Amino acid sequence: MAGPIRWLVPGLLYGALLTMAASPAFAEEIPAFARRYGVSCALCHNPVPALTPFGDQFAANGNRMAPGEEPADTIGTGDDLLALSRNVPLAVRLDAYVQSYANGRAVTDFQTPYSLKVLSGGPISKSLSYYFYAFLFERGEVGGVEDAYLYVNDLGGKPVDVLVGQFQVSDPMFKRELRLSFEDYAVYRARLGEVPSDLTYDRGLLATADIGGVTLSGQVVNGNGRGAAGSDRHFDSDAGKTFALHATRDIVEGLRLGAFGYTGRTTSDAVHDVTRMLGADATVSHGPFELNVQYLHRTDSRPFYVADDSSASLDGGFAELLVRPGGSRWHGFALYNLIDADRPLLSVRLGGPALVSRYETLSGGVGYLLRRNVRVTGEMTYDISQEEARWTLGFVSAF
């Protein structure tokens, strides 16, 4: 972009950030919150970890029952500027699976545990909250910190909410940490060539607003993920910043539509790549059924940071069907992923081929609540592009 156009998108997003109002936070609800208020996990989850409407609102309030609520169960310090909880709110999530693969021969893999993480969050004042979690164990090694941020509700008494820290860029659309399937929302992880930008974790600032029935979410992030700082102790690898904007509206009862835009520049060896994304998303719900649909188009100007390299693009998305009968401990889910790149430079799999041009999977499964905080799940995924089947049986627990 040249001239004034170069500054148009950042300027619009910066202006939006200054005027944004009430938004949902993106925390995963944890048993520490249920312990604090003496309520069932079912108040916020249906089933764990998916959120109920009340759970969404609880997160939007900064993990408290009502906006502006003072921190509960604090000690007396004699200092009006200090509210200290009697106990640090902690929770643990443990996931374990057994998987079987079939691609010419059958292989069974005990992934027990698959992940173990410690979570904490809660109010610091009547408007300030925090949330973080860290993997003590993730796929056989220390996973480190993923979500970690401060959340300001009604900044300065105005209808402005701000989240600063590390979070997922895709959260305003659909939250990966709250999905019911083992199979991921693959398009959010997709990258082209050697460009580090995707729609999972990044560091920066996020704010949203509900203006005239349209919810806006604006982001300013580094654009290169959650990797370690360089030798210069800088987390951002270049001078540029990445900007994203999401708008969504409830059209009628049971129908929500959204639109997404993303633009950013990354640099390696003095060669610049410009990443742009456009997308649309929708949710259709009726009774126990919910259909979530995501579409994204991405382009990268120099995906391998070679000066004379040609641009590359991908089109992809997913369709997810959830079935959660009221009053039942059973639930069902199905997920279809499709990503198609214009040449073999698509990186999306965890532990799969490094560079492919297509990723297509179809998953389906059922789950059952043994307890409000223990869910067993069975899932079958067929990788259409690799002609491989995968069966997953396991549990998700939090305590």
Residue that is written with structure tokens 């995963």 in the block:
28
Nearest to 20 by CA among 163, 208, 188, 278: 208
pLDDT at 156: 74
pLDDT at 139: 85
Nearest to 300 by CA among 308, 310, 311, 315: 311
HSE, side-chain direction, 13 A CA sphere, residue 64 = 22
Report d(CA 28, CA 119) in Å as an integer: 9
Nearest to 135 by CA among 104, 177, 99, 98: 177
Q: What's the sign of the alpha-carbon dihedral 136, 226, 32, 125?
A: positive
pLDDT tens, per residue, the chain with 399 residues: 444 444 444 444 444 433 333 344 445 557 777 777 777 777 777 888 877 777 777 777 777 777 777 777 788 888 888 888 888 889 999 999 999 988 766 789 999 999 999 999 888 888 889 999 999 988 888 889 999 999 988 777 777 789 999 999 999 999 999 999 999 999 999 999 999 999 999 999 999 888 888 999 999 999 998 888 888 888 888 888 999 999 999 999 999 999 999 999 999 888 999 999 999 999 999 999 999 999 999 999 999 999 888 899 999 999 999 999 988 999 999 999 999 999 888 888 655 556 889 999 999 999 999 998 999 999 999 999 888 899 999 999 988
Domains of the chain: 3-398 (2.40.160.10)
What's the burial of 91, exposed, middle or buried (CB within 10 Å: 0-12/13-18/19+)? buried
Please tell me the pTM assigned to this model: 0.87
Give the type of residue at 173.
M
Which residues on adjacent β-strands are paired with residue 334?
321, 364
Nearest to 196 by CA among 162, 169, 233, 159: 169
User: 276: helix, coil or strand?
Assistant: strand
User: 173: helix, coil or strand?
Assistant: coil
C-alpha distance from residue 387 to each of 181, 194, 300 (Å): 20, 26, 29
pLDDT at 106: 72
Q: What's the sign of the alpha-carbon dihedral 28, 31, 37, 39?
A: positive
Report d(CA 84, CA 73) in Å as an integer: 8
